[in-house]
Amino acid sequence: MTAWAVRIHDPSPRGYKPADLHDVLAALGATIAGCKWVIQDLECAGDAAELAVLVEHNREAGGVVLTTKDLLGWCSRMGQVIDAILLAFNSDVDADLRQLAMRGEDFAGSGAVLKVLAADNSVLVVAGTDVRMRYLLRCRFKDVSDCDPAAA
């Protein structure tokens, strides 16, 4: 599949300036239900400081692996996400996801189906390979622009 990427400029419906990880996950709904996530970087406000510390502690090992259900649980405790790098893989991938994610600078070569990049509480880029996900993001957010998948 061909990789795509979008930059989301919408304000968050929860009152924060930019749209956020929570908003992206909500928009993607069932399409991400069976994914496993590698969180490589996380800085956020709210009650998810334990996860941010765990991610930092495991940075050299490639990050922290969570199911979508666990990620959603953590997201319910997060405030605004300031910085984050998350890669989603299909649950049937039988490999060390953290090692695959470490190739995430080349999104297309990582084997991930989705990458979410949040930077400085102002940039939100989502890259993927499933055009249904791109469609759902474009339906949910009003101010979306295409960008190079290499930017994610």
- The DSSP output letter for 141 is -
Instruction: Write the pLDDT tens digit of every residue in 72-125.
Output: 999 998 888 889 999 999 988 877 888 877 765 667 777 889 999 998 878 899
Helix H or strand E encompassing 46 = strand 35-46
Q: What is the pLDDT of residue 137?
A: 96
Q: pLDDT per residue over 8-59, tens digit each?
A: 987 766 655 667 888 899 999 999 999 999 999 999 888 888 899 999 999 8
> Residue by residue, what is the 3-state secondary structure of 68-127?
HHHHHHHHCCEEEEEEEEEEEEECCCCCCHHHHHCCCCCHHHHCCCEEEEEECCCEEEEE
User: What confidence score (pLDDT) does residue 106 get?
Assistant: 67
Q: Where are the domains of the chain?
A: 4-143
Which of the 8 DSSP states describes residue 43? Answer: E
| pLDDT per residue as tens digits for the range 123-142 | 899 999 999 999 999 999 99
Residue 1 has a pLDDT of 66
Q: Give the separation between CA 84 and CA 118, rounded to whole angstroms.
A: 5
Pairing state between β 123-128 and 144-146: unpaired
